[in-house]
Amino acid sequence: MKISLSLFGILVLIMSACMPEVSKEEVPLRKPNILLILVDDLRPELNCYGAGHIISPNIDALANESVLFTRAYTQQAVCAPSRNTLMTGLRPDELGITDLSTHFRTKAPDVVTLSQYFMQNGYISEGMGKVYHTGHGNQNDVFSWSNPHWTPNSIIKKREPVISGDTTKLHTCIPLIDGKKIPWLKSRMPEHFHNDALVASHAMDRMGALKDTSFFLAVGLVKPHLPFVAPSKYWDLYDPSQITIPFKDKPDEYPSYSFSNWGELRKYHGIPAEGLLMDPDAINMIHGYYACVSFIDAQVGRMIGRLKELGLYENTIVVLWGDHGWKLGDYGEWCKHTNYEVDTRIPLIVRDPRNKNNEGRQSDAIVETVDVYPTLCELAGLEIPAHIQGSSFQAVLQDTVDWDDVAFSQYPRTTSIDGQSVKVMGYSMRTSDYRLTKWINIETRETLDMEFYDHSIPLPEMINLAAMDHYKDIIPMLNQRLEEEYEKEHGKSLTE
């Protein structure tokens, strides 16, 4: 018996020696998984973005293993259009949708969405939480997912109602007083009852179920969207006496329609129909927002931890993306809905586990939401679909290119001109040093007004410099580039 084993061992060694050596590159690897974390109303006010007052250890840890983009911008600072752009790779004007209620397939019925494209290329694509905007009559997209999109709504509906005096729906994340939503609340509801905790838990379950496949998971977290309801322990992380209210001044010489009346917040209990918030209310708002950010940070940490537990972290590309910014008392304003930096600049963090040389790197390359779709395609080794308007920033992630680009955003308004109601659109272009915003009559394509801001000076978006002689040579050049880029992207002129 011993002789037989020895002979067998010798034969194995001989056969092994005769076999050609297989390099690591020739071993077929499973396609990288994608974890796309979408966060609603998250401005780039995180510790990893230099905001030392924010407690965000889990996102900070992710950033330390990723490329963090310091100058990423959304195409429109409101939920539905920004998410449409992310998922379709098309800008708002190309889709022809700048409102909250119009489903993107009414304008582009055959467009292949980001998750749908990965599904067509062998991935299991699943969505949970807020991926598409589903309020205001809008709805989810059934074609984007391998399995039905998941929300925690059915779980929440089964709970026993919790009421305290005139406050109802305390068993949910949207409590009411006298039938109106409460803008902020230090919640005593168990953390795992909160919507985003349920969504994160479902994502973690799906990671386990799909661990032997190639998956694309889009996980949409609602906070820090209004109302600012978070478990009390996250409120306790912040001392309200240390919270500073931003300056309430608006830019000099700004067009009257540049800002909104923050109607989104005006509908909440205790919020005045007009005018500024009282300082105590402003502090509560900011405090609540911070608490929600730290709560969301914890959910990100849970999901990343689950990837590691399952041994999937080193084969999963992770993207953390905010749909737009949010004004926390900036200019005396609240909510989003403008073309200003505070609303259009977003957090964007991308971790490619194969890209070890760039872990913890910050990039000041100007990138856009519309660029995420083609970038994920390239990272996964997929051909970029022909309809895509954005540009892949894979080379930026690999630090192999000098990136010279600009970002575009837009926002619609209705104003009164000569007693007539007129629809206008503000088209904004952000370069490395400047922001140019051009307001156009949508019907006539006539230019109505211009804003110009110099980001190389302190408080850059506090003085509209469009009429200053010092910039008389720069502004026409930027205006020409805005016109040229628009025509290149859309095949038509921006103005007549």
The residue among 267, 321, 254 whose CA lies nearest residue 73 is 321
Q: What is the pLDDT of residue 28?
A: 43
Residues facing 224 on adjacent strands = none
User: Of 233, 329, 342, 325, which is closest to residue 281 (Cα–Cα)?
Assistant: 329
496 residues of the chain, pLDDT tens digit each: 333 334 334 333 333 344 344 333 333 468 999 999 999 999 999 999 999 999 999 999 999 999 999 999 999 999 999 999 999 999 999 999 999 999 999 999 999 999 999 999 999 999 999 999 998 888 899 999 999 999 999 999 999 999 999 999 999 999 999 999 999 999 999 999 999 999 999 999 999 999 999 999 999 999 999 999 999 999 999 999 999 999 999 999 999 999 999 999 999 999 999 999 999 999 999 999 999 999 999 999 999 999 999 999 999 999 999 999 999 999 999 999 999 999 999 999 999 999 887 789 999 999 999 999 999 999 999 999 999 999 999 999 988 777 878 999 999 999 998 899 999 999 999 999 999 999 999 999 999 999 999 999 999 999 999 999 999 999 999 999 999 999 999 999 999 7
Which strand (E) or helix (H) includes residue 185? strand 184-187
Is residue 36 within 8 Å of 216, Cβ to Cβ? yes
Beta strands in 32-146 (DSSP E): 33-39, 67-73, 124-129
Residues 6+ apart with CB under 8 A from 65: 351, 359, 360
Cis peptide before 353 (omega within 30 of 0): no
CATH number of 33-156+188-397: 3.40.720.10
Domain extents in the chain: 33-156+188-397, 407-490
Secondary-structure breakdown of the chain: helix, strand, coil percentages, each rounded to the nearest 5: 35, 20, 45
The structure's pTM equals 0.93
| Cis previous bond, 272, omega within 30 | no
Q: Which residues have a catalytic role annotated?
A: 79, 133
